[in-house]
Structure 1
C-alpha cells in the first residue's frame, strides 16, 4: 500500500508568514492525541491542525573587551507541541555568535524530542526543525511524524511546514565603562524580549501511507 495523500492547509499564501495572533487567541488549550488518536488529529478532526509554540524567548548579550573586540551571543528557546503527538513536547533551542542579529533564517536547528516509546495516541517520531530570522521575525517550523493508531501495518507518515512572523517586544540596555583601561570590560549590551506563545497552522502538509 503506497497511497499518496496531499493535504494543503491554509494556502492563502505559501510564501507569506502567518501573523502573530493577539494575546486573547494566542494560547490554545488543545486536546491531546490520546482523545482522538494521532491520525484524526493530524487530519484536523475535530479541530484544525496547528502547532503550539510556547514561551518563545529571544535574548542576546554583547560584551566588548575593547572598542574593537567583542564576545557576543544570541539565544532562542521555546517549546513546540504537535496536537497529534501531545502530550509529548519538543524542546527547541539555538545559540549563535553571528553578529549583529545572530539569527538570519539561514541555519536550521533541531528540536529535542522526549525519549521513550509510542505516544498515547499512536504517534511516533516527531523530528522537528526550525529556523528564525531576527531582522524579519519569521519563525519557520518543519516536522515529520507517523501515526500507527488506525493501521499499525501501514502507518501514515506526515510532513508539515509552517511559519509565523513574531512581533517581539524587547528591552535593549547598553552600559559603557567611562574609565576603561586595557583588561577591563569596555561596554556591555543586553537584549531581552518578552516571551510569546502562539499557534502556527501549517501552510503545507503531506501524508504517505
Structure 2
C-alpha cells in the first residue's frame, strides 16, 4: 500500500500544475508554465543526458530552422508576359520545428495559390492552420502552424508524449514569434520554349532574417 501511495503521489506531482504569470506591461503575453520539480536537472550541461520529461520541464521555446517563403509566378507564353493582366501565383512557406524534449523534428510546409500575383502575400493571412509531418514515423505527437505574411507572424502548437517511470505524460504547448524575412527576386526564361510549356518563371525567394528563429512557449499544459 505504501508503495502504491508513493507512486500515486509521484504521478500527481508531475501532472498538470500550472503557474500563470501576468506581466504588468499591458502588451505582454500571459505565460502558463508547468510547476518545476524542486531540483530541476541542468539539461544544458554537456553530460546531462536529459530525458523527454526533464527537457519538457526546463524548456521554454522551440527552435525553427530553415524558414523560407517563396512566391512563384509562371508565364506560359510571350503574349501573356506582355499583357498587364492578373497572373496566377503559387506561394510556399516551409521550415522545421525542433523541440529539445523530442528525438524527432516536425517538417512544416504549406502552399497557397490564387489568380492574381498581387494577392500572393495576403494568401497567408494567419487564419488557417496547417499540419506538419514528423521526420520519425510512429510518434504520437502533432505539430501545426499558422503564418501571417503581412505581419511576419508565425504561430505554432504542438502535442507530445513522454514516458516517465512507467507512465505516459502528454503535453501541449502553444507559442508564436516574429518571422521577418529578407527577399530577393529572380526571373527564369525558357530558351527552348514550345507552346504548352512554361515560358517564364518569376520567383520571389525569402529567407529568415534571423536564423534560427526562437519561438517561445506562451502556454504549456500536461496530463
- Please report the TM-score for the alignment, with normalisation by the length of structure 2: 0.66
Does 2:185 correspond to 1:172?
Answer: yes
Higher relative contact order (CA 8 A, sep 6+): 1
Aligned to 1:157: 170
Aligned to 1:21: none
Does structure 1 conserve the Cα–Cα contact (< 8 Å) formed by 2:56 and 2:101? Answer: yes
Q: 1:60 to 1:7 in 2, by over 3 A?
A: farther
Aligned to 1:114: 135
Structure 1 residues not aligned, in runs of 5+: 16-29, 118-123, 177-181
Structure 2 residues not aligned, in runs of 5+: 1-7, 31-43, 190-194
Of the two, which has the highest radius of gyration?
A: 2
Does 2:71 correspond to 1:50?
Answer: no
Post-superposition shift, 1:188?
Answer: 5.2
Distance of 2:45 and 2:159 partners within structure 1: 20
Does 2:59 correspond to 1:72?
Answer: no
Post-superposition shift, 1:7?
Answer: 5.0
Does structure 2 conserve the Cα–Cα contact (< 8 Å) formed by 1:42 and 1:84? Answer: yes
Aligned alpha-carbon RMSD (Å): 3.3
Distance of 1:145 and 1:128 partners within structure 2: 9
**Deviations 1:126-182, CA, capped at 9 Å, x for gaps:** 200001111110000000011112342xx2211100111112111135799xxxxx9
- Please report the TM-score for the alignment, with normalisation by the length of structure 1: 0.70
Distance of 2:22 and 2:69 partners within structure 1: 27
Determine helix, strand or coil for the equivalent of 2:102: coil
Equivalent residue runs for 1:18-57 within 5 Å: 35-44=49-58, 48-57=59-68
